[in-house]
Structures are given as C-alpha cells and as structure tokens.
C-alpha cells in the first residue's frame, strides 16, 4: 500500500508492505506517483489513488485564472516564487495547484529533465501530440538558459497553431499564439 504524506519540506512517499515502512523525502525522486498532490504548510495524508486525479481541464482553468497578473514593478517579484525570471515558476505553480507533484522550478530546462525522469517529456518530433495542460519549451534544448529560453502552458491546439498561457510574458501572465513548429519549441512535457 502506498500513501503520500505532504509536508512543508516536500512530498514524502511511504510504502508499507508486510508491516515495514520506507520513506523517500527527496523531491527529485518522487516515485510513488508523478501526480501526487503538492506540498502544503501542514502535514496531510492522501491515498496515492486520490493523488492521481490530475485534470488537464483544471490545469487550463487555473492558468486562465491568472491571466493579467503582473509582477510588482520590473523586479521579477511575483507570488509564484522568488524574485527572478518567472515563466517556469508560473508553469510549475499552476501544475502544483492542479495536483502535479513537480518541484518549483525556476529554469525551464529543469521542467524538461523532470519530464524525462518521469517518462512524460517529448521532443520536436512529437510536438503535434501536444494537448491542453501540457507545457511547451522554447529554444533548442534543456542545456542552459541560452538554449532553453521560455515555457508556456498549452491552452489549445488547432490547425498547426498552439495557444499558450505564459508567465513573464511582457512582465505578466498572457495568452499568446504560435505556429506549432520545431523552429520555436524543442519539446514538451505532459502533466
């Protein structure tokens, strides 16, 4: 039986078999379910089955609810994380609110690497499979901030175009549309 414990320090997964329990409190090795509920300020126990109910519709709804939210001044300070570039902080904030057990990442390439570890990432050749709730990554690869430059949450895909909801787009959360092409995106990650 797997149970997911939520604590301020991160998700703790406990596996109980024949009276023995093991726990993993390392956020980068969350193995019980990639869709466990994000950590809260008080410890809560949630059955792993309940934690697997992540809705793409809910991800898009949460992202839409943030449209127009702007950083304070031009300081990169937002409610999504520390005062730094925040497109990835926004995307992971939305996913966490929707129940995806992803750490709060400030670098877009880390989101892609997380997706690879959890078998949820896809590359340029699979961009046409993007669905609402996914994230798409701008640039040429996850190597560094020059090659992985931005991220957005897929709102809709239609006729070879994708509409994204992006954080830190002209210093606010905005909706933007792009051709769904490998010239713009190096890949995506499913929730």
| pLDDT per residue as tens digits for the range 83-107 | 999 999 999 999 999 999 999 999 9
Query: Model-level pTM greater than 0.85?
Result: no
Is the model's pLDDT at 124 over the cut of 90? yes
Which tens digits make up the pLDDT trace of 139-179? 999 999 999 999 999 999 999 999 999 999 999 999 999 99
Residue for token digits 């190597």?
143
Rg (CA), the chain: 17
Q: What total of structural domains would you count in the chain?
A: 2
Residues 22 and 66 in one domain: no
For residues 43 and 10, give the distance between their C-alpha atoms in angstroms, rounded to a whole number.
10
Question: Left if phi > 0, otherwise alpha if psi is -120 to 50, otherwise beta: which for 23?
Answer: beta
* pLDDT given at position 15: 32
Distance in angstroms (rounded) separating the CA atoms of residues 14 and 166:
35
Whether 107 and 140 map to the same domain: the answer is: yes
120 and 185: one domain? yes
Asked if residue 74 and residue 15 are part of one domain, the reply reads no
Strands ordered across the beta sheet of 185-189 = 121-123, 185-189, 135-139, 148-158, 161-169, 172-179
Residue 15 backbone dihedrals phi, psi, to 5 degrees? -110, 125
Domain limits for position 11: 2-51
């Amino acid at each position: 039986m797997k149970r997911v414990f939520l604590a301020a320090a991160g998700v703790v997964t406990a596996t109980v078999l024949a009276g023995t329990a093991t726990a993993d409190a390392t956020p980068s090795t969350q193995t019980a379910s990639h869709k466990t509920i994000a950590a809260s300020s008080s410890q809560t126990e949630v059955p792993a089955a309940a934690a697997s109910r992540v809705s793409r519709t809910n991800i898009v709804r949460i992202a839409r609810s943030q449209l127009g939210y702007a950083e304070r001044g031009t300081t990169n300070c937002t409610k999504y994380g520390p005062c730094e570039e925040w497109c990835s902080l926004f995307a992971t904030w939305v996913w966490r609110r929707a129940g995806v057990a992803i750490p709060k990442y400030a670098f877009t390439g880390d989101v892609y690497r997380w997706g690879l570890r959890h078998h949820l990432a896809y590359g340029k050749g699979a961009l046409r499979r993007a669905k609402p709730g996914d994230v798409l990554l701008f640039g040429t690869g996850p190597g560094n901030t020059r090659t992985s430059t931005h991220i957005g949450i897929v709102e809709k895909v239609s006729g070879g175009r994708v509409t994204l909801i992006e954080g830190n787009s002209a210093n606010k959360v905005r909706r933007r549309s792009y051709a769904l092409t490998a010239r713009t995106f190096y890949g995506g990650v499913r929730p």
